[in-house]
Amino acid sequence: MRKAIAELDAEQRSQLLYLADLGTALFSSALVVTILRGMAQLIGLG
């Protein structure tokens, strides 16, 4: 994997990092929503 990334140019590398950051943000937001829904159900709001 490192060898493949090393062969990318700077623009491709920045696009790959952008996609990784986007995936992390989507995962984090989905996790927060799930936790909030669970808490709402526990206290009887959901």
Predicted local confidence at residue 13, as pLDDT:
94
Total tally of structural domains belonging to the chain? 1
Can you give the residue range of the structural domain that contains 22? 2-42
CA separation for the pair 46, 29 (Å, rounded): 19
List average pLDDT for each run of 10 residues in the chain, which is 46 residues long: 89 94 97 96 86
Predicted local confidence at residue 45, as pLDDT:
83
- Check: pTM over 0.75? Answer yes or no: no
CA separation for the pair 20, 41 (Å, rounded): 32
Indicate the residue type of 11. Answer: E
Predicted local confidence at residue 32, as pLDDT:
98
